[in-house]
Amino acid sequence: MNRIFIIMALIGVPLTVIGSLMHWPSVVMFIICSISIVALSSFMGRATESLAIVSGPRIGGLLNATFGNAVELIISIFALQAGLIGVVLASLTGSVLGNLLLVGGLSFFLGGLKFKRQKFSVHDASHNSGLLIFAVVVAFVIPEIFAMTMNDTKTIQLSVGISIILILLYLAGLFFKLVTHRGVYAHADPETESSHEEPEWSKRKALIILLVATLIVAYVSENLVHTFEEVGEQFGWSELFIGVIIVAIVGNAAEHASAIIMAMKNKMDIAVEIAIGSTLQIAMFVAPVLVLISLFMPVQMPLVFTISELVAMITAVFLAINVMNDGESNWFEGLTLLAAYLIMGIGFYLL
């Protein structure tokens, strides 16, 4: 499998450069860029897996989510420059749905097929549940409600204020988990411990690969964004569907692959940390940062989603919380999450 991704990257990245210089058709460039990003994401996943073995599940999961979401952030910044506000908001929605339902669902399902009962930290699940409710249900719903009676200027001001609060709380949450309460709620399950496992790459090599892959992804992402409008017209895809499904899946390919690999190795603490941690990072850091970055763009982005996006995200949050709060998973719970994702995907496609 690793050889396949290497070949995809060696072919896809040069073709992206050639295609952009020769102005190849948008559909061709869309396919090449998407394949290139997925291939590069596999390297990011392997690098973060090596770092997770060295640093532990929390830091490993955080690194995976951070570098995985860096792809999404880069794509979204270029989309903001192109004025595609709807695509950016939809991609944020898609990331929340994708991480909670698709990544979580595939991890539980495939891991559950191999191990009948998998365990992870109940405390981490409970702690993250509260933050998920705050980030999605509180911080995303409030702007929607108040924006109904506000003009555009005040809506942007409200969005900026909420964004600053979200970023500060997210940073405080990291300080809580990694500094003041590090190890206080450690999960020690002999079935899931991997203290004797050797990392594939050294810490230095893994960090270099992460950095280089992220820089290349930034270049490929810029070319990908330029294809959205024409591809949408040719395939009959709406801005909403492109953002919620296409951009979200391509942009989060790194953590998708890593979480599934971890689950199949019975490392559920890391798999859950990737799925939930990435969702929190999207809601509490990436989305607010994009709002602040948009202040320097021709068109500002308010933190206001459509009703369908909000309902889908809130439903995904409460379903994921109900499934994960017992600290155990199985293949049927994974299938339930996947079914919810498919239902929402059909809805956004028809919408």
**Cβ-Cβ contacts under 8 Å for 322 (sequence gap 6 or more):** none
State the pLDDT confidence band at 149, using cuts at 50, 70 and 90.
confident
Q: How far apart are CA 295 and CA 293, in angstroms?
A: 5
Lowest mean pLDDT among 81-90, 197-206, 244-253: 244-253
State the DSSP H helix or E strand holding residue 100, giving kind and residue range, or none if neither. none
Give the confidence band of 101 by pLDDT, cuts at 50, 70, 90. very high
Q: What pTM was computed for the model?
A: 0.82
Per-residue pLDDT reduced to its tens digit, 52-63: 777 766 676 677
Q: For residue 61, what pLDDT is reported?
A: 64
Q: What are 335's two structure tokens?
A: 């299938």
Q: How confident is the model at residue 64 (pLDDT cuts 50, 70, 90)?
A: low
Q: What is the pLDDT of residues 187-233, one digit of tens each?
A: 544 444 444 667 788 888 888 888 888 788 878 877 887 888 888 88
Average of pLDDT values for 337-341?
95
CA distance 64 to 260: 12
The residues facing 119 across adjacent strands are 328
The per-residue pLDDT for 183 is 64
Select the more confidently predicted residue: 101 or 121. 101
Tens digit of each residue's pLDDT (9 = 90 or more) over 8-28: 888 999 999 999 999 899 999
For residue 296, give both structure tokens.
């320097």
Domains defined along the chain, listed by start: 2-193+200-350 (1.20.1420.30)
Rounded to whole angstroms, the Cα distance separating 258 from 237 reads: 29
Q: What is the DSSP letter of 306?
A: -
Dist. CA 49–CA 53, nearest whole Å:
6
What is the band of 122 on the pLDDT scale with cuts at 50, 70, 90? confident
Stretch 98-123: mean pLDDT: 90
Query: How many Å from the N-terminal Cα to the C-terminal Cα in the chain?
Result: 36
H helical segments located in the chain: 2-22, 26-55, 57-81, 85-97, 104-114, 122-132, 141-147, 152-175, 203-225, 228-235, 239-241, 248-251, 253-264, 268-281, 287-294, 307-324, 331-350
User: How many Cα atoms within 13 Å fall on the side-chain side of residue 295?
Assistant: 15
- pLDDT tier for residue 163 given thresholds of 50, 70 and 90: very high
Cα separations (Å) of 167 from 67, 144, 313?
17, 19, 19
Do the beta carbons of residue 244 and residue 94 sit within 8 Å? Answer: yes
Q: Which of 43-47, 112-116, 151-155, 309-313 has the lowest mean pLDDT?
A: 43-47
Cα–Cα dist 174/180, whole Å: 9
270-301 pLDDT tens trace = 888 888 888 898 999 999 999 999 999 888 99
Bridge partners, 329 (sequence order): 118
